[in-house]
Chains A and B, each alone.
Chain A
């Protein structure tokens, strides 16, 4: 039996599968996330959420390919890659593997030590950039990620505590395609982390249970702990908070989504500045200078190397 306190219900396995899939179908339908002819790229990490998402989308008959990004975090990444490949093999699904160090010259542990961003921040930036770029280059129509209700409620809490209105304006579970940016969707947003874990377990998915060894002190975890403490006394709070934001809060902040995008002068990906946040972070990590085409004496590059990174436009995690 699986207890879902916010539903005031407990389900047998088969009924739980039905309820879970119906929540995903409702999310997809409500936000027009996926079409039957869409080529979908699902970002997988080997964890419960991404593999559960991939499983559901395959079961629902979508054309979905997995993308795994190797982050170079020692045995943790090795296990994550193995879990993703094993799932793909078991389901007969296609998996693209990108390696951050092989393809972009750095790994996450190194990035956390050398860059000005936190390890988790540069990891998130790297993943969002690579997923978007892989989708564009592979001709995919949409990128799907395994963000769940706990993720979204915690992100919204963090962004609201700091009144980061440019991010609050962009936390829809379906972000439309723009020039240089593929459509991004989060079909699991109606489901809690407990539900995705239960689904993955009951489906016999061998996901990575171990936590990333670099996650210590992670802000997102603190926000999740806070939300779950409230949820323990008031089941349904996370859903009311995030789904209520989608219904009544998001429309009030749409005017904050004013980013004007141009092409990064290094890679061509969209950015609000001359170079995108990924290229600037990568240059800093590798100890390189990004040089605009018209910067003959390198003075612009040197000046920009010390500037605060521009606002990320691929996501909006707290």
Chain B
């Protein structure tokens, strides 16, 4: 399964056929710090992703402050 990561932009291959939460766990990503996007929709930790899916893991934490 293709996973697009951001900041910097890059792509990795991970195993599909499991819940998003498990994918995040393998990548060491805190689910409170990212949006997970599949086909233009937000998906949650419990959503199952297949080997043929392509998802984006988009960080939401920014360092700037006004």
A contacts, CB < 8 Å to B: 1-3, 5, 10, 43, 45, 47-50, 120, 123-124, 127-128, 131, 145-147, 150-151, 155, 192-194, 196-198, 201-202, 209-212, 215, 218, 220-221, 224-225, 228-229, 231-232, 235, 315, 317
Chain B residues touching A, range: 20 to 34
Task: Provide the bound-state CA to CA distance between A97 and B59, in Å.
Answer: 27
B-side contacts of A43, CB under 8 Å: 66
Task: Provide the bound-state CA to CA distance between A35 and B30, in Å.
Answer: 38
Pull 27 A–B residue pairs with CB atoms less than 8 Å apart, ordered by A. A1-B47, A3-B44, A3-B45, A10-B44, A45-B66, A49-B62, A50-B66, A123-B64, A124-B65, A127-B66, A147-B65, A147-B66, A151-B65, A193-B33, A193-B62, A201-B42, A209-B58, A209-B59, A211-B59, A211-B63, A212-B62, A218-B63, A220-B64, A220-B65, A228-B33, A228-B61, A232-B31
Task: Provide the bound-state CA to CA distance between A211 and B5, in Å.
Answer: 13
Given contacts A192-B32, A202-B42, A209 and B7 within 8 Å (CB-CB)? yes
> Is there contact, CB below 8 Å, between A215 and B32?
no
> Is there contact, CB below 8 Å, between B66 and A146?
yes
> Is there contact, CB below 8 Å, between B35 and A201?
yes
Q: Which residue of B lies closest to A212 (CB)?
A: B64
Q: Give a binary string over B13-53; 1 marks a CB under 8 Å from any A CB, 0 the rest.
A: 00000000000000000111111010000111101000000
A-side contacts of B63, CB under 8 Å: 120, 211-212, 215, 218, 220-221, 224
User: In this assembly, does B60 line the interface, its C-beta being within 8 Å of a C-beta of chain A?
Assistant: yes
A-side contacts of B6, CB under 8 Å: 209-210
Interface SS of B by simple majority:
loop
B-side contacts of A221, CB under 8 Å: 61, 63
A314 to chain B, nearest CB (A): 10
B-side contacts of A48, CB under 8 Å: 60, 62
B-side contacts of A196, CB under 8 Å: 60
> Is there contact, CB below 8 Å, between B44 and A232?
no
B contacts, CB < 8 Å to A: 6-7, 30-35, 37, 42-45, 47, 58-66
A221 to chain B, nearest CB (A): 4
Task: Provide the bound-state CA to CA distance between A172 and B19, in Å.
Answer: 40
Task: Provide the bound-state CA to CA distance between A224 and B60, in Å.
Answer: 11
A-side contacts of B37, CB under 8 Å: 201
Task: Provide the bound-state CA to CA distance between A47 and B58, in Å.
Answer: 13
> Is there contact, CB below 8 Å, between B61 and A193?
yes
Given contacts A198-B35, A220-B63, A2 and B7 within 8 Å (CB-CB)? no
Given contacts A49-B62, A150-B61, A218-B63, A232 and B42 within 8 Å (CB-CB)? no
A-side contacts of B34, CB under 8 Å: 194
Q: Out of A145, A193, A220, which one reaches B60, CB within 8 Å? A: A193
B-side contacts of A228, CB under 8 Å: 30, 32-33, 61
A-side contacts of B61, CB under 8 Å: 150, 193, 221, 224-225, 228
> Is there contact, CB below 8 Å, between A128 and B35?
no
A-side contacts of B32, CB under 8 Å: 5, 192, 194, 228, 231-232, 235
Task: Provide the bound-state CA to CA distance between A157 and B34, in Å.
Answer: 22
B21 to chain A, nearest CB (A): 10
